[in-house]
C-alpha cells in the first residue's frame, strides 16, 4: 500500500465554513473541464512519477491554467511543514488534503481493499485560506472521492506491483487574487488506519505561503 496525508495544526472541534472568500469547486462539479476524481487521477500519476510535466517559470507542474500543488515532506507525527509557492495570475490549483493509495502485489498478497468511509468522515480536518475555513467536518464529504486507476499505475518495486485505487479528500481551487495568500491545513486522525496502511494515528501541521504574481 501507499498512503500519505498533509496538514497544519489540529482542529478538534470543526465549525461551519465561513461564507467569505473564494470557495473551491465541489467534488461533483466540473472544474476546468474535469471532475475532482479526474484531477486527482492526474495528480497522483504525476505524484508517483508516471506523468512528467515540464515545469513553468515558477518551478510548478501545470496542466493548462491549473497547477498541481506540491506537498510538504513531513512524517505525519505533528511536525510542522511549510512551502512557499508562486503562481501566475489566473492559475488555479489542485491540492490533496488526505489520501490513501491502494496497491497490488507480486508475491500473491491480495490487493489492498478500500477502507471504510468512516476513516475519512472522522478526520479532524480544517483547511483555511486567508483565515477563512473552506473545508472542515461540515462539508468534508463534498471533497471526498474514490476511484480506480484505469489503467493501474505501474510501480514495479516488488512486492508492490502497481497503484490500483485512490480514496482522498482534496480540492480544485479557482485562481486567487494577485498578492500573498496563506493556506493552512489542520488534520488529526481520530481512529487508527487499517493495519495494511501502517495502523496508528496521524497528525499534520502544514502551511503554504502562496504568492500570485501580476
pLDDT band, very low/low/confident/very high, at 18 (cuts 50, 70, 90): very low
- The grid coordinates listed for 3 are 498512503
Residues 210, 183: Cα–Cα separation, whole Å: 7
List the one residue out of 203, 194, 208, 212 whose CA is nearest residue 100: 194
Q: What is the mean pLDDT of residues 120-145?
A: 93
Per-residue model confidence as pLDDT tens digits over 155-169: 989 999 999 999 999
- Map out the domains of the chain as residue ranges: 2-15+20-81+91-212
pLDDT band, very low/low/confident/very high, at 25 (cuts 50, 70, 90): low
Per-residue model confidence as pLDDT tens digits over 150-205: 999 999 899 999 999 999 999 999 999 999 999 999 999 999 988 888 889 999 99
Q: Supply the pLDDT for residue 15.
A: 31
Q: What is the mean pLDDT of residues 134-152?
A: 93
Residues 89, 136: Cα–Cα separation, whole Å: 27
Residues 64, 107: Cα–Cα separation, whole Å: 40
pLDDT band, very low/low/confident/very high, at 126 (cuts 50, 70, 90): very high
pTM to 2 decimals? Answer: 0.86
Amino acid at each position: 500500500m501507499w498512503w500519505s496525508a498533509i496538514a497544519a495544526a489540529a482542529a478538534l472541534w470543526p465549525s461551519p465554513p465561513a461564507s467569505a472568500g473564494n470557495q473551491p469547486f465541489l467534488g461533483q462539479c466540473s472544474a476546468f473541464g474535469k471532475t475532482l476524481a479526474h484531477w486527482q487521477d492526474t495528480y497522483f500519476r504525476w505524484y508517483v512519477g508516471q506523468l512528467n510535466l515540464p515545469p513553468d517559470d515558477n518551478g510548478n507542474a501545470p496542466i493548462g491554467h491549473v497547477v498541481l500543488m506540491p506537498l510538504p515532506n513531513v512524517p505525519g507525527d505533528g511536525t510542522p511543514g511549510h512551502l512557499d509557492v508562486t503562481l501566475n495570475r489566473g492559475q488555479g490549483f489542485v491540492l490533496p488534503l488526505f489520501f490513501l493509495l491502494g496497491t497490488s502485489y507480486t508475491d500473491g498478497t491480495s490487493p489492498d481493499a478500500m477502507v471504510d468511509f468512516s476513516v475519512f468522515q472522522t478526520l479532524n480536518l480544517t483547511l483555511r485560506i486567508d483565515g477563512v475555513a473552506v473545508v472542515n467536518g461540515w462539508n468534508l464529504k463534498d471533497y471526498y472521492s474514490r476511484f480506480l486507476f484505469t489503467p493501474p499505475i505501474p510501480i514495479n518495486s516488488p512486492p508492490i506491483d502497481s497503484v490500483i485505487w485512490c480514496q482522498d479528500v482534496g480540492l480544485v481551487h479557482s485562481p486567487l487574487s494577485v498578492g500573498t495568500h496563506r493556506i493552512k491545513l489542520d488534520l488529526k486522525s481520530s481512529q487508527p488506519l487499517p493495519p495494511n496502511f501502517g495502523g496508528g494515528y496521524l497528525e499534520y501541521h502544514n502551511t503554504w505561503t502562496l504568492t500570485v504574481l501580476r
